[in-house]
Amino acid sequence: MSSNTELLQLYGRTNVPNFLRDASLKKFMKHQAAWLTVLVFVLGTSSPVFSKTLNYWTQLAPDAGLSARVITSVDHCPSLMIDGKPSAMTIRALPNAQFPNLVCEKRVPSSTSSLSLDGKPLAVLRSNVTKIAVVGDTGCRIRGQRAQACNNKDAWPLNKIATAIAAQDPGLVIHVGDYIYRGSPCPPTADCLGSPYGDKMQTWAADWLTPAQHLLSQVPFVFVRGNHEGCGRNGEGWFRYLAAGPVPVKCLAASAPWKALLANLNLIVFDASDGRAPESSRKRLPEYRNMADQVFKDLKLETWFLTHRPLWAHMRAFGEVIDGDDTQREAFGQTMPEAVNLVLSGHLHAFQALDIAHGPTQVISGNGGTLLDPMPTDVKYDFEVAGSRVKQAVNDGSFGFLMLTKTGVDAWRMEALDANSQKKFQCEITGRQMACKN
- Could you read off the pLDDT of 342-390 as tens digits, one per residue? 999 999 999 999 999 999 999 999 999 999 999 999 999 999 999 999 9
Check whether residue 57 and residue 186 sit in a common domain: no
**309: nearest Cα among 394, 414, 373, 227:** 227
Check whether residue 266 and residue 411 sit in a common domain: yes
**DSSP state for residue 227 in the 8-state scheme:** G
Check whether residue 284 and residue 391 sit in a common domain: yes
Lowest mean pLDDT among 22-31, 167-176, 181-190, 362-371: 22-31
pLDDT confidence tier of residue 14, bands split at 50, 70 and 90: very low
pLDDT confidence of residue 46: 36
Check whether residue 80 and residue 22 sit in a common domain: no
> Could you tell me what percent of the chain has a pLDDT over 90?
83
pLDDT confidence of residue 33: 40
Check whether residue 174 and residue 60 sit in a common domain: no
Cis peptide preceding 278, ω within 30 of 0: yes
Number of domains in the chain: 3
Letter for the amino acid at 316?
R
Domain that holds residue 100: 53-121
Which residues, 6 or more positions from 84, have their beta carbon under 8 angstroms from its beta carbon?
114
pTM check: above 0.85? yes
Give the end of a domain, one of 100, 121, 142: 121
Check whether residue 164 and residue 27 sit in a common domain: no
Give just the sign of the alpha carbon dihedral 170, 172, 177, 180: positive
pLDDT confidence tier of residue 218, bands split at 50, 70 and 90: very high
Q: Residue 24 CB: number of other CB atoms within 10 A?
A: 8
Pairing status of strand 66-72 against strand 102-108: antiparallel
Task: Report the distance separating Cα 138 and Cα 414, nearest Å.
Answer: 20
Q: Which residues of 290-304 are buried (b: 16+ CB within 10 A; e: fewer)?
A: ebbeebbeebeebbb
Check whether residue 404 and residue 324 sit in a common domain: yes
Using one digit for the tens of pLDDT, what is the confidence trace for 299-354? 989 999 999 999 999 998 777 889 999 999 999 999 999 999 999 999 999 999 99
Residue with the larger pLDDT of the pair 183 and 12: 183
Widest pairwise Cα distance in the chain? 79
Indicate whether 244 belongs to any domain.
Answer: yes
Whether pLDDT at 8 is above 80: no
Task: Report the distance separating Cα 381 and Cα 390, nearest Å.
Answer: 7
Check whether residue 237 and residue 262 sit in a common domain: yes
What average pLDDT does the chain have? 89
Using DSSP, how many helices (H) and how many strands (E) does the chain show? 10, 27
CATH of the domain at 408: 3.60.21.10
Check whether residue 237 and residue 358 sit in a common domain: yes
For 28, the 3-state DSSP assignment is helix
Indicate whether 126 belongs to any domain.
Answer: no
